[in-house]
């Protein structure tokens, strides 16, 4: 299969610190791609770099046929790359339904005039997206009653799901999930893993960060290992996890 | 059904309440004469009104002792604003106990009020409104002061004929008084054979005249006429002498005040002025008044007090006459005013002409040994003005030019030192806590006040005389710095520290509130007038002269030296000391600093202490340089320093120092080179700021930073300190609001029904006008709420949009169509409806121009830029006289009309305002409840997450800013047509802060909040006017405003109406469910859903 995301020689610097030091990454379309590495390895920073949230010091970055290095996050999102955040970032004071509609921002295209006049077309578009939001809530396993709740008052696990649903609202081609399983119990982890699989089953590619090796082994088609901002290994999970260098770097410090 | 009953029940309660509120004012005994007094009693020009009132109070006491009638004084503060003046006039009209109106410290307010008072046949005696435009304005309008034209013309002739002056330079303050007097003076002087070498104008409140005077010096006049008030006249005289200008000073009745000598420090010796009151006159009334005044106030009376006193005496004569003929009514009093002849008074006999003007004599005075000495017995040979130095100038035009620019540069360096010092204060605190502390201007002011207070031997505080230690300058300054620093730390502790983790908007709002609070308190404590900076040995030394042409004082050197030394010490401290290093670490990363054991709270307190100390130091140096301390003195330098800090790169200490110097040089050179540069120089900083943000947003020496914004909004209800307590207090309000919040339509219809019923049912024009104001301010606040409440950006220049809309339609209707083309407003009534959207679009266009460079940057920049923008629009409106008619404002803006039928009555205007408000709120709700509004709220809550959802953040901020500008613009158009008169005074920063307060009070980010806030504030304002303490200290209302704002942000950031959470989806759509359980849409099917939809 072809690569949907192709990064080459990415570098990110924070002052004197080189958080990402020349990383290559290739995510194939339709894959569940895992990104692993010890704490502080630069995984989140890499995700931020891919989605335009930090400035690249060097490197090329192609997404879906577009060169996206140096583009703003919203422009990259508009091309069909969507993401969640390691520390959940839902919009305070918004209901779940409203938050999800923000995720569908790019799907709306009527002008201010149509909105003010309450044109039929704008109402139809609004209805369609509300319908989609309810469907996605159902899809990520949230009850219909959550739609009207203020998102930040939900439980941690529910907030994670809202964030994932929000990221899916725009019908993205690639979703970046930063530790979607963090802080969950075993049952919840299985549920989210199933959710991830069914997202892929719909044809959406996923790149996710995860620390739980068991889940990673089962869930991912492909793994990339980061350490100290460098790519340590890359390949099918079985091979990568067996790599002694990975074990040394990862487990050596993970204790 | 339940909504309906609830709504009607609600209406019933509101109506009952209003009926109680509007119940007739307390009965007053019939033989009591009530004087409605109105003037500016707070703010920059409060001195005139306060003095008139002092005189009038003496007269009233005197009359009450004699006992024919009882006289009662009801005093209202119009704050120098025509809108307030109009409202107060309406209030007097609808209060049947008011028999006569007095006061009026400025013509613009009298012009706005006269037609209203004419409408209810309420007679007026004004005592300081001198504009010729007031002659013949109404048969009910009288004044006991001569017009500018008469006075200025007589002075011109006197100067040329009697004083024998031939080469005169004319300066005037930029308002109708200054311009009128200066024009009349020039005419008079030229007719009498003198030559006018040139004219320059300056804004009231200007402190630094050196640029202008350097230009004057080039012309080598033998006299300088200063057409303005005493504060500026004293400043000009002082600075002119310090520049070696040898001319004789001439000035006006506006300068004829003993304050002139206090503030002039000897430089005003020999100044010749005119006035209507000669305290040394032999008339028994004069002597009696002077005696009574001295006994009551312990000082000599000024002309304005005398005129206030005489207004009281004239009233008594008229009352007697009216009582002889029958009952004393407004009508009979007015008739009596026309009949009384030569009523004796402190300023001579009063007789009114049919035009309402007074016959009177003008007296001429000279300042002689610190006293005004009458020149009545002919002109005694005047002593040469003291402190004059030979104005040696370079030889030839080249030498002149070098001398000119050399002097300008020398001026700039002194100014630059002060700017730099304050900018360093801003930048230090910004660097450490990322907070733009708008209250530094006030700490600057307090530094000056504390120093001056300590240098005196006794002082009047809140009206009480206290002994003071009379310390020498150096010691006082050394004490004032730590005192102010301690205050700065206290402010930080109370108003900022609890908000450290709060969204960025919160401390910005409290810092504005602190600024308002400190300013109002300073006015209460030290009074409304300038406090003279005492002379001391160093400051009394003769100026130093470089190359025979460049003048500067010893104290100038001290200022520069102190500033440089302070900055060097700070640099050493930051780089060498432990605390300094901790400060740098905290600036880099607060959390990390905390982790490595740095006591962040203490470090930040230290930064505030140093910043406040620096502000105090520059404030006291500034006050020393210009010779006074005043409660409003911190605003302009504060703004300049803020601009300087941004110019240099906010957060960078050397940058702030450089920025201060660059700004001072740019301002001074531009002021010296551009035509009418002195009046325009305050706009220079803002232009530099815009250019900088376009081309080098990080500032001259600053670091590039990511566009980061504090996350979260004020709406999540986490009142920082006592959240739970506040929640308990507001529990019932919240529950009620939440209940109606579930039915926004019911709420809107209920509120509308109440408003319409009030509009149709109320009979008092005064209350209808109040309601119109409430609705208009609610509408304006709704516009501001869009950017502040929904998009989460602090806008301090919103009033500029309002001003643009107002001026646009006023210029079109009055200047272009009526005056230039002769069109009758009646025929072009439809244009008003076209102007509404056009004015809105014009404002929105400006918003785009300003927002495009600004909104790409951090949120704080918007606050700073908009603050500058608001000032810029005010400067343009004030100075571009050809377009806007300057401070005189534009009069005669026609009321809106429908098919030629004017909507001029208070009722029609209220209903029209209501229609406008409904339209604005409707558009707002539609926008907010769409993907656009959701994008705004998403940006407010989390800018990064919003960008991650594909929202182009900068563009949506711009949409919000432009839409809010649009609302400001159309409301401005409407406002102009309901007020009929606009002037730059309507649109000052305070109005913006007030609007901000309304939305924070009512509920930020809700549709109802702005209106809730508006209702509460206006009712409070109107009722508080009846409280005697507030009448005497009107500024305390604004102190209260500041306190309320701080408390709200700390404890109840979401405001009163927070329960009315705004749904971001149109009602009725929220419960939409998919028709069938379609599979999760893949990109392809999503597209088809969308196109299919
Ligand atoms: N904005 C920033 N400024 C400075 N340094 C940063 C910034 N963001 C991350 N870093 C540093 O970059 C390095 C990589 O951080 P990153 O968050 O990408 O690691 P991570 O692999 O996601 O770790 P974790 O598993 O804990 O989430 C860390 O040393 C971190 O301190
Ligand atoms: Mg991470």
The verdict on the CB of residue A44 being under 6 Å from ligand 1 is yes
Contact call for B932 and A115, based on CB within 8 A = yes
The strand order across the sheet containing A174-178 reads: A81-83, A174-178, A205-209, A32-36, A222-227, A230-235
Contact call for B949 and A152, based on CB within 8 A = no
Question: Domain check: are B417 and B554 in the same one?
Answer: yes
Task: Give pLDDT, residue B14.
Answer: 52
3-state SS class at B475: helix
The domain A1-80+172-255 is placed in CATH, from the list 3.30.1490.120, 1.10.10.10, 3.10.450.50, 3.40.50.300, at 3.40.50.300
Q: What percent of chain B has pLDDT over 90?
A: 31
Residue A153 pLDDT exceeds 50: yes
Q: Does B22 map to a domain?
A: no
Cα separation, B1059 vs B619, whole angstroms: 44
3-state SS class at B682: helix
Nearest to B634 by CA among B645, B650, B623, B643: B623
Reading the block at residue B600, the tokens are 């962040």
Q: Averaged over B993-1000, what is the pLDDT?
A: 88
Q: Does B5 map to a domain?
A: no
Nearest by CB to residue B944, choosing from A53, A78, A199, is: A53
Question: Domain check: are B1026 and B898 in the same one?
Answer: yes
Question: Domain check: are B597 and B556 in the same one?
Answer: yes
Per the rule left: phi > 0, alpha: psi between -120 and 50, beta: everything else, B1026 is alpha
Q: What CATH number is attached to the domain comprising B253?
A: 3.40.50.2300
Task: Give pLDDT, residue B966.
Answer: 96
Hey, of A4, A63, A97, A102, which one would you mutate to test binding to chain B, going by the most B CBs within 10 A of its CB?
A: A102
Contact call for B1064 and A89, based on CB within 8 A = no
Q: What CATH number is attached to the domain comprising B932?
A: 1.10.3470
Question: Domain check: are B746 and B651 in the same one?
Answer: no
Residue B15 forms contact with A (CB below 8 Å): no
Residue B8 pLDDT exceeds 80: no
The four Cα atoms B916, B918, B924, B926 give a dihedral, to 10 degrees, of -130
Nearest by CB to residue A101, choosing from B716, B934, B942, is: B934
Residue A107 forms contact with B (CB below 8 Å): yes
Reading the block at residue B707, the tokens are 């566009």
Task: Provide the ipTM.
Answer: 0.95
pLDDT band at residue A84 under the 50/70/90 scheme: very high
Model pLDDT for residues B185-238, shown as the tens digit of each residue: 999 999 999 999 999 988 888 888 988 998 898 888 989 999 999 889 999 999
**Termini Cα distance of chain A:** 37
Residue B974 pLDDT exceeds 90: yes
pLDDT band at residue B1070 under the 50/70/90 scheme: low
Q: Averaged over B1032-1052, what is the pLDDT?
A: 84
Task: Give pLDDT, residue B662.
Answer: 93
The verdict on the CB of residue A13 being under 6 Å from ligand 1 is no
Task: Give pLDDT, residue B65.
Answer: 87
Contact call for B950 and A127, based on CB within 8 A = no
The verdict on the CB of residue A38 being under 6 Å from ligand 1 is no
Contact call for B952 and A72, based on CB within 8 A = yes
Nearest to B301 by CA among B311, B291, B310: B291
Residue A98 forms contact with B (CB below 8 Å): yes
CB pairs under 8 A between A and B: 170
Question: Domain check: are B121 and B176 in the same one?
Answer: no
Average pLDDT, chain A: 88
Task: Give pLDDT, residue B1083.
Answer: 39
Q: Which residues of B touch A170 (CB under 8 A)?
A: 949-950
Q: Does B746 map to a domain?
A: yes
Average pLDDT, chain B: 83
| Tally of helices (H runs) and strands (E runs) in chain A | 10, 10
Q: Which of B258, B275, B292 is the last residue of a domain?
A: B275
The verdict on the CB of residue A172 being under 6 Å from ligand 1 is no
The strand order across the sheet containing B195-202 reads: B195-202, B167-173, B223-227, B248-251, B272-275, B363-368, B371-374
Contact call for B1086 and A107, based on CB within 8 A = yes
Residue B1068 pLDDT exceeds 80: no
Question: Domain check: are B877 and B998 in the same one?
Answer: yes
Task: Give pLDDT, residue B390.
Answer: 45
For residue B1007, how many C-alpha atoms fall within 13 Å in the half-sphere facing its CB?
24
Best mutation site among A20, A23, A43, A45 for ligand 1 pocket (most ligand atoms within 8 Å of CB):
A45
Q: Does B994 map to a domain?
A: yes
Question: Domain check: are B124 and B235 in the same one?
Answer: no
Hey, of B742, B844, B948, which one would you mutate to test binding to chain A, going by the most A CBs within 10 A of its CB?
A: B948
Cα separation, B893 vs B600, whole angstroms: 57
Question: Domain check: are B132 and B190 in the same one?
Answer: no
Q: Does B627 map to a domain?
A: yes
Model pLDDT for residues B797-808, shown as the tens digit of each residue: 899 999 999 999
Q: Which residue has the CA at smallest separation from atom 29 of ligand 1?
A: A40
Contact call for B1093 and A128, based on CB within 8 A = yes
Residues 1019-1058 of B with CB under 8 A from A: none
Reading the block at residue B841, the tokens are 């679009």
Question: Domain check: are B836 and B942 in the same one?
Answer: yes
- Tokens 């408390």 locate to B1047
Model pLDDT for residues B276-290, shown as the tens digit of each residue: 888 888 888 899 999
Cα separation, B1073 vs A6, whole angstroms: 39
Model pLDDT for residues B704-763, shown as the tens digit of each residue: 554 444 555 555 545 455 556 666 777 777 777 667 666 667 777 888 888 888 888 888
Q: Residue B948 to residues A165, B804, B933, B951: CA-CA distances in angstroms?
A: 14, 36, 17, 7
Domain extent, residue B177, equals 148-275
Task: Give pLDDT, residue B628.
Answer: 87
Task: Indicate the number of domains in chain B.
Answer: 4
| Sign of the CA dihedral running B456, B462, B467, B468 | negative
Q: Does B15 map to a domain?
A: no
Sequential DSSP letters for B980-1006: S-B-GGGG-HHHHHHHHHHHHHH-TT-
Domain boundaries, chain A: 1-80+172-255, 90-171
Residue B4 pLDDT exceeds 50: no
Q: Which of B275, B294, B325 is the last residue of a domain?
A: B275
Task: Give pLDDT, residue B1084.
Answer: 36
Point out the ligand 1 atom lying closest to the alpha carbon of residue A229: 14
b/e per residue B723-750 (b: at least 16 CB within 10 A): eeebeeebeeebeebeebbebbebbbeb
Question: Domain check: are B238 and B199 in the same one?
Answer: yes
The verdict on the CB of residue A19 being under 6 Å from ligand 1 is yes
Q: Does B1081 map to a domain?
A: no
3-state SS class at B459: strand
Residue B92 pLDDT exceeds 50: yes
Contact call for B945 and A89, based on CB within 8 A = yes
Hey, of A57, A94, A165, A205, which one would you mutate to test binding to chain B, going by the most B CBs within 10 A of its CB?
A: A94
Report pTM: 0.86
Q: Which residue has the CA at smallest separation from atom 7 of ligand 1?
A: A14
Task: Give pLDDT, residue B78.
Answer: 86
Question: Domain check: are B482 and B547 in the same one?
Answer: yes
Of the two residues A248 and B1085, the one the predictor is more confident about is A248
- How far away, in angstroms, is B284 Cα from ligand 1 center? 88
Tell me the nearest-neighbour CA distance from B302 into chain A, angstroms.
Answer: 59
3-state SS class at B101: strand
3-state SS class at A147: helix
Q: Which of B239, B258, B275 is the last residue of a domain?
A: B275
Q: Residue B115 to residues B102, B134, B592: CA-CA distances in angstroms?
A: 15, 11, 66
Residues 890-949 of B with CB under 8 A from A: 922-923, 926-927, 930-932, 934-935, 937-938, 941-942, 944-949
Model pLDDT for residues B899-930, shown as the tens digit of each residue: 777 788 888 889 999 999 999 999 999 999 99
Task: Give pLDDT, residue A116.
Answer: 85
């Amino acid at each position: 299969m072809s690569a949907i995301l192709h990064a080459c020689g990415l570098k990110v610097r924070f002052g004197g610190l080189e958080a990402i030091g020349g990383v290559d990454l290739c995510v194939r379309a339709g894959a569940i791609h895992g990104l692993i590495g010890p704490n502080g390895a630069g995984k989140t920073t890499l995700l931020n770099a891919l989605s335009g949230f930090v400035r690249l010091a060097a490197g090329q970055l192609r997404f879906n046929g577009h060169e996206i290095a140096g583009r703003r996050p919203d422009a990259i999102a508009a091309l069909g790359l969507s993401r969640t955040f390691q520390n959940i970032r839902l919009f305070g004071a918004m209901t779940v339904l409203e938050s999800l509609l923000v995720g569908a921002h790019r799907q709306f295209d009527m002008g201010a005039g149509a909105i003010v006049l309450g044109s039929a077309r704008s109402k139809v578009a609004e209805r369609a997206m509300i319908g989609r939001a309810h469907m996605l809530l159902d899809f990520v396993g949230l009850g219909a009653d959550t739609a009207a709740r203020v998102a930040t008052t939900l439980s941690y696990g529910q907030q994670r799901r809202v964030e994932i649903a929000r990221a899916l609202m725009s019908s993205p081609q690639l979703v970046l999930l930063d530790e979607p399983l963090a802080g969950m119990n075993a049952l919840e982890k299985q549920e989210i893993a199933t959710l991830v699989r069914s997202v892929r089953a719909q044809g959406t590619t996923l790149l996710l960060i995860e620390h739980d090796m068991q889940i990673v082994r089962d869930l991912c088609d492909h793994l990339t290992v980061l350490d100290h901002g460098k790519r340590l290994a890359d390949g099918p999970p079985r091979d990568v996890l067996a790599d002694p260098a990975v074990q040394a770097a990862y487990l050596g410090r993970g204790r | 059904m339940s909504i309906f009953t609830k709504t009607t029940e609600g209406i019933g309660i509101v109506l009952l309440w209003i009926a109680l509120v509007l119940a007739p004012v307390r009965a007053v005994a019939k033989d009591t004469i009530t004087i409605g007094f109105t003037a500016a009693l707070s703010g920059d020009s409060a001195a005139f009104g306060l003095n008139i009132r002092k005189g009038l109070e003496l007269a009233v006491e005197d009359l009450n002792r004699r006992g024919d009638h009882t006289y009662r004084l009801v005093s209202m503060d119009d704050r120098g604003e025509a809108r307030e003046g109009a409202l107060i006039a309406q209030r007097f009209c609808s209060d049947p106990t008011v028999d006569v109106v007095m006061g009026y410290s400025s013509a613009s307010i009298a012009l706005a009020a006269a037609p209203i008072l004419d409408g209810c046949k309420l007679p007026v005696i004004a005592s300081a409104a001198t504009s010729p435009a007031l002659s013949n304005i109404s048969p009910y309008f009288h004044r006991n002061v001569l017009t500018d034209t008469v006075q200025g013309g007589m002075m011109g002739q006197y100067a040329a004929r009697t004083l024998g002056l031939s080469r005169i330079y004319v300066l005037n303050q930029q308002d109708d008084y200054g311009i009128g007097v200066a024009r009349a003076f020039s005419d008079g002087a030229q007719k009498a054979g003198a030559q006018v070498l040139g004219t320059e104008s300056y804004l009231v409140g200007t402190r630094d005249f050196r640029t202008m005077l350097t230009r004057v010096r080039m012309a080598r006049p033998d006299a300088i006429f200063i057409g303005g008030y005493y504060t500026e006249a004293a400043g000009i005289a002082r600075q002119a002498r310090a520049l070696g200008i040898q001319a004789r000073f001439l000035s006006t009745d506006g300068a004829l005040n003993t304050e002139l000598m206090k503030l002039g420090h000897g430089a005003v010796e020999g100044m010749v002025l005119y006035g209507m009151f000669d305290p040394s006159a032999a008339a028994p009334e004069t002597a009696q008044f002077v005696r009574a005044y001295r006994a009551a106030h312990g000082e000599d009376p000024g002309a304005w007090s005398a005129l206030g006193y005489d207004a009281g005496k004239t009233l008594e004569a008229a009352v007697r006459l009216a009582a002889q003929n029958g009952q004393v009514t407004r009508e009979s009093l007015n008739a009596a005013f026309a009949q009384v002849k030569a009523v004796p008074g402190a300023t001579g006999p009063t007789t009114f002409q049919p035009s309402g003007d007074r016959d009177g004599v003008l007296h001429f005075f000279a300042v002689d040994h610190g006293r005004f000495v009458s020149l009545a017995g002919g002109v005694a040979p005047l002593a040469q003005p003291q402190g004059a130095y030979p104005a040696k100038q370079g030889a030839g035009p080249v030498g002149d030019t070098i001398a000119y620019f050399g002097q300008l540069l020398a001026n700039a360096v002194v100014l630059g030192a002060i700017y730099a010092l304050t900018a360093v204060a801003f930048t230090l605190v910004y660097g450490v806590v990322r907070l733009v502390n708008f209250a530094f201007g006030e700490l600057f002011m307090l530094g000056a006040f504390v120093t001056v207070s300590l240098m005196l031997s006794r002082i009047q505080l809140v009206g009480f005389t206290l002994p003071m230690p009379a310390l020498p300058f150096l010691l006082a300054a050394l004490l004032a710095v730590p005192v102010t620093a301690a205050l700065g730390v206290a402010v930080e502790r109370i108003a900022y520290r609890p908000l450290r983790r709060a969204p960025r908007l919160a401390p910005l709002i409290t810092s504005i509130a602190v600024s308002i609070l400190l300013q109002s308190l300073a006015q209460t404590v030290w009074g409304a007038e300038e406090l003279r900076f005492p002379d001391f040995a160093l400051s009394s030394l003769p100026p130093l002269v470089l190359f025979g042409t460049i003048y500067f004082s010893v104290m100038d050197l001290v200022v520069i030296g102190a500033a440089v030394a302070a900055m060097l010490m700070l640099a050493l401290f930051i780089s060498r000391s432990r605390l300094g290093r901790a400060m740098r670490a905290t600036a880099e990363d607060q959390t990390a600093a905390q982790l490595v054991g740095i006591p962040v709270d203490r470090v930040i307190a230290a930064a505030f202490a140093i910043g406040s100390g620096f502000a105090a130091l520059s404030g006291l140096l500034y006050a020393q340089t210009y010779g006074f301390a005043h409660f409003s003195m911190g605003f302009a330098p504060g703004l300049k320093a803020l601009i300087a800090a941004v110019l240099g790169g906010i957060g960078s200490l050397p940058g702030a120092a450089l920025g201060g110097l660059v700004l001072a040089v740019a301002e001074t050179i531009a002021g010296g080179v551009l035509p009418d540069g002195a009046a325009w120089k305050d706009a220079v900083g803002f232009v530099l700021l815009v250019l900088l943000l376009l081309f080098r947003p990080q500032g001259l020496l600053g670091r590039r930073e990511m566009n980061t914004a504090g996350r979260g909004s004020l709406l999540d209800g986490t009142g920082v300190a006592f959240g739970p307590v506040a929640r308990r207090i507001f529990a019932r309000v919240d529950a009620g609001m939440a209940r109606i919040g579930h039915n926004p339509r019911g709420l809107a219809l209920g509120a509308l029904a109440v408003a319409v019923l009030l509009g149709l049912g109320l009979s008092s024009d005064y209350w209808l006008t109040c309601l119109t104001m409430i609705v208009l301010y609610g509408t304006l606040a709704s516009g501001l709420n869009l950017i502040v409440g929904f998009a989460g950006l602090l806008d301090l220049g919103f009033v500029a949009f309002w001003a643009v809309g107002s001026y646009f339609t006023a210029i079109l209707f009055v200047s272009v169509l009526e005056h230039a083309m002769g069109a009758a407003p009646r025929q072009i009534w439809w244009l008003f409806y076209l102007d509404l959207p056009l004015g809105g679009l014009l404002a929105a266009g400006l918003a785009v121009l300003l927002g495009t460079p600004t909104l790409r940057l951090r949120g704080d920049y918007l606050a700073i830029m908009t603050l500058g923008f608001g000032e810029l629009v005010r400067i343009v409106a004030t100075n571009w006289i050809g377009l806007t008619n300057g401070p005189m404002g534009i009069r005669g803006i026609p009321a809106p009309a429908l098919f030629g039928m004017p909507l001029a009555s208070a009722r029609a205007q209220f209903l029209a305002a209501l229609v406008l408000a409904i339209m604005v709120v409707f558009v707002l709700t539609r926008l907010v409840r769409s993907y656009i509004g959701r994008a705004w709220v998403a940006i407010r809550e989390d800018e990064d997450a919003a960008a991650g959802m594909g929202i182009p953040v900068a563009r949506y901020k711009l949409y919000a800013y432009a839409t809010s500008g649009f609302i400001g613009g159309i409301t401005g158009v409407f406002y102009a047509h309901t007020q009929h008169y606009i002037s730059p005074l309507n649109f000052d920063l305070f109005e913006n802060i007030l609007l901000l307060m309304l939305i924070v009070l009512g509920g930020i980010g809700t549709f109802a909040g702005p209106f809730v806030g508006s209702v509460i504030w206006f009712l409070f304002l109107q009722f508080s006017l009846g409280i005697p303490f507030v009448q005497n200290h009107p500024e305390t209302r604004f102190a209260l405003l500041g306190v309320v704002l701080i408390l709200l942000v700390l404890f109840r950031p979401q405001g009163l109406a927070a329960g009315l959470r705004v749904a971001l989806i149109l009602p009725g759509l929220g419960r939409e469910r998919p028709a069938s359980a379609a599979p999760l849409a893949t990109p392809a099917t999503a597209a088809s859903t969308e196109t299919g939809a």
